[in-house]
Amino acid sequence: MKAWLPALLRLAVLLLLVVFITSPSWFEPLLKPLTENGAPAIYNQGSLLTLTLQHLRTVLVATVAATIVAVALAILVTRPAGVEFLPLSRSLVNIGQTFPPVAVLALAVPAVGFGEKPTLIALFLYGLLPIFENALTALTTLPGNVMEAARGAGMTGWQRLMKVELPLSAPVILGGIRLSVVISLATATIGSTVAAKTLGEVIIAGLISNNPAFVLQGGLIVAALAVLIYDGLSAIERFAARRMGQGAE
């Protein structure tokens, strides 16, 4: 019974989240004590469901782009012809961690305007480092006997990469993607400061109007999404590790 408890808790969180973003008025009695002077308890300047989906879409697009670039760089610098580009690649992926998200947004807005684009740039830059470092670690710590067997079987470099290296590296790369997604989920909220449609809109509206109910519901939705997505990606990571015969950590 105890083994099922975490799964039941996650299912309960998922159901509560779905109900809240689709029918938030049901929770008004719980949030009303946090308001003053007749202020609304439920965010009323847009749809929570729409904002949640737009928030997730922004994170997804940025993560996919960061994954493609980071994994490609890791592959490049682990080939004999690309080893010399490792310092440059590390410098590039560290850019997002060097500048705070607000600074990236401030620099991106004059170039691409307000809206989702500067937020995507910030999330893309922030998501590169964990994916790149995990991919690099995975590709440089592959079992030597497996690689020798692949060479002995007459595989070309491309075949070894696609059929041996990337499949064996997948669990570790997924770990980097998981970290990147969680970082992006939280960071995306600041995108609303430059007119991006994210859940940060709810939090900012609450701060401006001194309405803790808005701040709480925006923060709780982001937190629930982070927990559920983290757990989901962790499960995929464990599945990939088992398929590769690496076991679950």
* Per-residue CA distances from 117 to 29, 58, 111, 201, 223 (Å): 37, 9, 10, 16, 24
Within-domain flag for 148? yes
* Per-residue CA distances from 145 to 149, 150, 151 (Å): 6, 9, 10
Name the pTM for this structure.
0.90
Low-confidence ranges of the chain (pLDDT < 50): 1, 248-249
Within-domain flag for 29? no
- Is 123 within 8 Å of 184 (Cβ atoms)? yes
Summarize pLDDT for 43-101 with one digit per residue, the tens: 988 899 999 999 999 999 999 999 999 999 999 999 888 889 888 888 888 887 787 77
Q: Give the whole-angstrom CA distance, residue 127 versus residue 93.
A: 9
Within-domain flag for 116? yes
Summarize pLDDT for 27-36 with one digit per residue, the tens: 889 888 888 8
- The CATH number linked to 148 is 1.10.3720.10
Q: Say which DSSP state 154 is in.
A: T
- Full residue range of the structural domain in which residue 70 is found: 48-243
Within-domain flag for 15? no
SS3 state of residue 137: helix
How many structural domains compose the chain?
A: 1
